[in-house]
Structures are given as structure tokens and as C-alpha cells.
Amino acid sequence: MDIRDSVIKFKKYAHNFDFANKDIERKYFHSFRVKSFSEQIAKKLYLDNEKIKLSSFIGLFHDIGRFEQLKQFSTFNDYYSFDHGNFGAEYLKENLRFLVDTDEFDDIIIQSVKNHNKFRIASGLNDDELFYSKLVRDADKLDILFESTSIFWEGKEDIINNSSILDYSYDCIKNHSLVEYKKGMKLENLDSIIKVLAFVFDFNYTPSFQILKNNDYINKILGRYRFNDATTKKRICEIQDIINSFIDSKLEQ
């Protein structure tokens, strides 16, 4: 696999879209950071060179469906457009031979891209498909946590400072589970941040916890805010402790 050639082709594809649109630009740089996180995880797992390159490729192309999604629907909301993981997988089914010179990894790439954005990975995947699906999910979540340290909620700090947390979100953190909001739930502004913090409970690999801890994303995300409500303040302290202890426990194993 020639990853430098893949990067050139990715750049060429992405530049068909409107870079004056900040959301396109953000997805472009997100893709490169997820490539880098995938590579870091793969190296820390001592994968061989070919597998490191495959991990990088999947990381770079995981959100390939985002560009058409934004162009066609002006939203990244899958609910109001299409499932961007499925769309990306279909795009790659059609175009993989142009991007990769061997068909050896086709199913792994397609399944990983398809499953990267699902609440849970589909059943029925083989060991390799499952391995790389888990890897790109970790890498993607790491970058969403990074983006939450500065890019997301920029200029909305005051709104967040005056926000509170749903009991439901708070309970999810206490139960070490992902936060899945159901239709009709009335969310507070802070709940979207809690949902991102809860990503740590879905990490698959120890290196992902190492990268998270080394970059101190959890404390950086929460360090941006000064919550006004006393209950919220107390809950956030607890949440911060629960998550940091969870990360430490994973690193001790």
C-alpha cells in the first residue's frame, strides 16, 4: 500500500469541494488528524509496517462521506441527510481500485468506514474487520476529544457556564457507559460535552488511553469553563474524577 499516493488522491478528492466553507476545511484537517492518531495507535500496538499503513489509510478516508454530505445537505447531521459511514463505504466500494492497488484489504477498509460512526459495531465482522473498526473508532474519538479542547463550542463558553446537566447524562458517566440521547429528550448545552467525555468508556485499545492521558484532553476540555450553578459544579468535579480514575485504571491493567 502506497500511503503517500493515497494522501495525494485524498487531497485531490477533497479539493473538489468548497474550502471557503469552514466545515469542509475542518473535516479535511480532522481526516488528517485521525490518520495520525490511527498511525500512533497502530505503532503502539507494534503492528507491522503494512498494517500501520492500512490503519493510516482507514483513518484518512473514514469520513470521506462527509464532503458529499455537506455539499448536498449543508449539514453533518446524519439524521437529516444520510448515514455518512454507509455513504463513505459505498463510495469506497466503487473507487477503492483507484486508491489502493491490491484488493486484499477491501473488506477491512469498507467495514471499518461503515462502522466508524455507529453507536455499536455491527455483529458478524471477521477478526480483522473488527480489529480495524475498533482502531479507527478510537482514533476518531480521540480527535473529537481534541477538537473539544478548543474548536468546538468556541465563543459559547458563557452559555455553557450557565448550563446544567441532565440526570441521564450524569448517570451514564457514573455507570461508565456511552451517552445515547433518545429522540424527544430535552438536552442542556452541557450535555453535548458530557456525551463527548463519555467516549472514553468506548475506547478499545490501551494506546488510545495513553494518547488521551498524555494530551490531557479531559482536563483541558473541562478547564475551559467556570460553571455558575453549584450542583453543576459539583457534578462536573465528580465526572472529572470518575473519568480520570477510569483512564488510570485502564493504564494500570
Which residue ranges make up the site for Fe ion (CB under 5 A)? 63, 117
Mention every residue, 6+ apart, whose C-beta is less than 8 A from residue 65: 82, 83, 84, 85, 86, 87, 88, 89, 91, 113
Between residues 86 and 161, which has the closer beta carbon with respect to Fe ion? Answer: 86
By C-beta, is 117 or 148 nearer to Fe ion?
117
- Which of 69, 82, 220 shows the shortest CA–CA distance to 142? 220
From the CB of 62, what's the least distance to Fe ion, in Å? Answer: 6
**Smallest separation (angstroms) from Fe ion to the CB of 14:** 14
Residue placing its CB nearer to Fe ion in the complex, 110 or 236: 110
d(CA 22, CA 142): 21
Cβ at position 97, least distance to Fe ion in Å: 23
Q: How far apart are CA 132 and CA 152, in angstroms?
A: 27
Nearer to Fe ion, 140 or 191 (CB): 140
CB of 195 to Fe ion, least distance (A): 15
Of 28, 10, 8, the closest CA to residue 20 belongs to 28
Cα–Cα nearest to 23, from 67, 62, 63, 59:
67
Smallest Cα–Cα separation from 24: which of 35, 37, 9, 13?
13
- Rank residues 39 and 63 by Cβ distance to Fe ion and give the closer one: 63
Q: How far is the CB of 30 from Fe ion (least distance, A)?
A: 8
